Structures are given as C-alpha cells and as structure tokens.
Amino acid sequence: MFTIAGLMNWNHYAPPSRQTTSIQKQSWKTWNPDPDARTSESSGSPFKEEKNGELKLAKTHEANISPAEAEMDTAALAAPDKPSPLDLLCAITNLNKNLDDRFANLSTQIQKLQSNVTETRTRLQSLETSVNVHDSRIDELESLCTSLQADNKYTKTKLEDLESRSRRQNIRIVGIPEGAEGGQPTDFIAELIPTGLGKEHFGANFKVDRTHRSLAAKPSNGAPPRPFIARLHYP
C-alpha cells in the first residue's frame, strides 16, 4: 500500500481549506502546557494570562464559520490523509503502463539477443564443418606426403646407384704433358695403359671407349697439365 502511494500522482489531492489551517494554527496558539497558568476564558476575555504575567492574544477564527463546517474541518484534521479510489485507480493504471513499457523494451532486447545467438550458432556450425573438411584433407595430404617421401628416398637410392655404376669404369690419369696424345686421346690411352702396366695383364679384348682431358682451360707453359678422364669398356 505504501509502494502504490509512493507512485501515485497527487495532483488530484486538495489541501485543507484556509479556515481549517486557521483552526489548526489557533489550536496550537491557544494551547498552554503550564497547569499554573491563569486564563481569563471563564470571563470571556480573548486574552490568555501566562505565568510571567504576559498576555497573549488567542485568535479563535480568522473568519466566522458554521458549526457544520467546523465539524468537517475538525474531522479533516483528526483523520489521516487517504487517497481516493480514483487516485488509486490512476496510480495502478500508470504503474501498469510503466511495467508494460519496460517489458516491451525488455522483450525487444531479448529478441535481438536471440537473433545474435542464432547467427553465432550458424557461424559456429559453418566453422565446425570447415574444420572437419580441413581435417580430412590434412589427413590425405599427410598420407600423400609420407608416400612421396618414400618414393623420393627410393629415387635417390636408384640415382646414386646409377651414378656409381656409370662411373665405375672411369679412371683418371694425371701427369701426362699437354699435347702428348697428338690429337687422338682414346688411341693414346689405349696404348699407354697396357704399356705402362704390362700387356700380360690385359687380354686381347681390352678396349677404351672414350677419353678426354678434364673440362678446364688449357694451362699456360710451366703449369700442371690437365688430367685425362678415360672410360674403359665393360663387356
């Protein structure tokens, strides 16, 4: 009840009349708490005699009023201020309107929040789908990378073997002066090797496939000669 009264609009409340206020003021002015004070009310005098000998004028009314009005004013002073049913109805109506406005605003905010949550959920589901797809592709790439690593290792082994096989018939001969081959390096080396190492160590099928000096510029006079690279025939 106090909460509703606090929210009420008191524009319809009418204060007591001037006559009632005058009566209230008069009642406070004429009251004297001193029991020893002597009054002249019994003699009909409008003055009150105080203990110290001073006289104070006690006004009974500022205007002449009827007994019915005086009784109504007295009842108004005695009864506490109470709102009328119309005031209560107006206050309840205003309270309902305020609550409706607040709930409408709250409903709007909740709808916006729900929309944001729905959008976030959709984006999260899309991200989860993308992550799953990427995980699958990464697994495939890892398997492919493992397979390619194995193939690369095998290829390197084969290449090294082929390179080694291709060079196993090559020999390098150093210390032969420049121009000693006379323009025929293959025939020169084919005759030089059995002569130097002994013909008894070579059969009739000994053959040199090709011979050339190392790929470098012809040295100047007094510089070390370029070595020979000879490929022996492998039957």
From residue 212, give the alpha-carbon distance in Å to each of 181, 186, 229: 10, 7, 5
Judge whether 155 lies within some domain. no
Number of domains present in the structure of the chain: 3
Domain end, chosen from 41, 62, 80, is at: 80
Residues for the chain: how many in total?
Answer: 235
Lowest mean pLDDT among 58-62, 148-152, 208-212: 58-62
User: Is 120 inside a domain boundary?
Assistant: yes
Count CB atoms within 10 A of the CB of residue 45.
Answer: 12
| Domain carrying residue 221 | 170-232
Looking at the fold, whether 33 and 69 belong to one and the same domain comes out as yes
154, part of any domain: no
Q: Could you tell me if residue 2 is inside a domain?
A: no
Give strand pairing partners of 49.
55
pLDDT at 10 over 80: no
pTM of the model: 0.35
Q: Which residues pair with 173 in a beta bridge?
A: 228
Instruction: Give Rg (Cα) of the chain.
Output: 65
72 and 98 in a single domain? The answer is no
Q: Which of 56-70, 199-213, 214-228 has the lowest mean pLDDT?
A: 56-70
Q: What is the mean pLDDT of the chain?
A: 75
Asked whether residue 73 falls in the same domain as residue 91, the answer is no
- In a domain? residue 157: no
Please give the structure tokens belonging to residue 181: 């081959």
Segment 97-110, tens digit of pLDDT:
888 888 888 988 99
pLDDT value at position 47?
A: 41
**Domain boundary residue, one of 37, 64, 80:** 80
Q: Of 175, 176, 232, nearest to 202 (Cα)? A: 232
Higher pLDDT, 57 or 70: 70
Structure-model confidence comparison of residues 60 and 104, the more confident one: 104
- Does residue 222 belong to any structural domain of this protein? yes
